[in-house]
Structure 1
Amino acid sequence: MSSTEKTVLSFDFGTTRFGAAIGQTLTGGATELPTFKAIEGIPNWEDIDKIIQEWQPDILLVGIPVHMDGTMSDTGLRARKFKNRLKERYKLDTQSVDERLTSFEAKGIALKKGKSNFKQHSVDSLAAVLIFETWFNQL
């Protein structure tokens, strides 16, 4: 792997579930992974351990939800805490991304595909793809 080619695991933080996507800096693309269940914003760390072992990412990304005026939301504070725990636990390059409107955009994409029941068709991992794309486009 070249020094510029990195595997990136991105997360869309949520209080009841997390979306995840795996991306590559070589291609600039990411693929949805299965969502993870969470309780009050706390994931089952064994699930995260498995995905880290499987994909061996170089970088972890966490979308941080902020209000449209740029102020931090309560969920944003919790997402930042999750990011810090990832960094402590896995000792990997862990970055945050402003994820304003990614869930809204993901729902729009799902609606275009005819998927309107977001409880049945979660958009969280699609939002994680968009988080990766936001980060990649800012490089």
Structure 2
Amino acid sequence: MRVMGLDIGKKTIGVALSDPVGLTAQPVTTVKRTTFVKDIEAVLKLASGNEVSTIVAGLPLNMDGTHSPQTGFVLKFVDRLRESASMPVETWDERLSTAAVERVLIEGDISRSRRKEVVDKLAASYILQGYLDSRRVE
């Protein structure tokens, strides 16, 4: 079964999926945020349509591991998602994921407008790949 990765922001949610055996992560889409209810419905519809067994949401921590204002926002979303989801919803440390993706896109000479279109789903893929890699080590 597949694992879904999420990069939850205030305006968008980046979505990535693992391959069927859970080795690699691929960026899938970016969901434009509207309301908690509609956002959760959109995520769960994607999960259901792709036979997802686990959802992993990136948790934005400060560099020292403490919670940031964004951490609380993401945890609130994750709590609501857990209430509605039929599969486990986990969190994964996403420190520097968006910055790392931005750096790669800039080095690849990707235009600013194109970077804006793809950064969230690529960050979700980066988060998910970290989660998948950690499971192989265990």
TM-score band w.r.t. shorter chain? 0.7 to 0.9
Distance change in 2, residues 1:42/1:116 (3 Å): farther
- RMSD of aligned alpha carbons: 2.1
Distance in 1 between residues matched to 2:22 and 2:85, nearest whole Å? 25
Alignment of structure 1 residues 83-98 onto 2, 5 Å: 83-98=78-93
Taking the TM superposition and a 5 Å limit, the aligned residue runs for 1:106-117 are 106-117=101-112
* Structure-2 separation of matches of 1:40 and 1:71: 27
Report deviation, 1:96.
Answer: 0.3
Q: Where does structure 2 lack aligned partners over 5 or more consecutive residues?
A: none
Please report the TM-score for the alignment, with normalisation by the length of structure 1. 0.85
Whether 1:128 and 2:124 are equivalent positions in the alignment is yes
The corresponding residue for 2:32 is: 37
In terms of mean alpha carbon deviation, does 61-70 or 120-129 score higher?
120-129
Where does the alignment leave 5 or more consecutive residues of structure 1 unmatched? 1-5
Matched, 1:64 2:59: yes
% identity of equivalent residues: 25
- State the alpha-carbon separation in 2 of the partners of residues 29 and 82 from structure 1: 25
Conserved? CA contact 2:3–2:17, under 8 Å: yes
2:23 is equivalent to residue 28 of structure 1: yes
Q: 1:49 & 1:59 partners in 2: Cα distance?
A: 11
Q: Which consecutive segments of 4 or more residues in structure 1 shift more than 6 A?
A: none
Quick one: higher RCO (CA 8 Å, sep 6+), 1 or 2?
Answer: 2
One-letter code aligned to 2:28? L
Q: Distance in 2 between matches of 1:31 and 1:107?
A: 17
State the TM-score, normalized to the length of structure 2: 0.86
In the TM superposition, what is the alpha-carbon distance from 1:93 to its structure 2 partner?
Answer: 1.1
SS in 1 for 2:18: strand
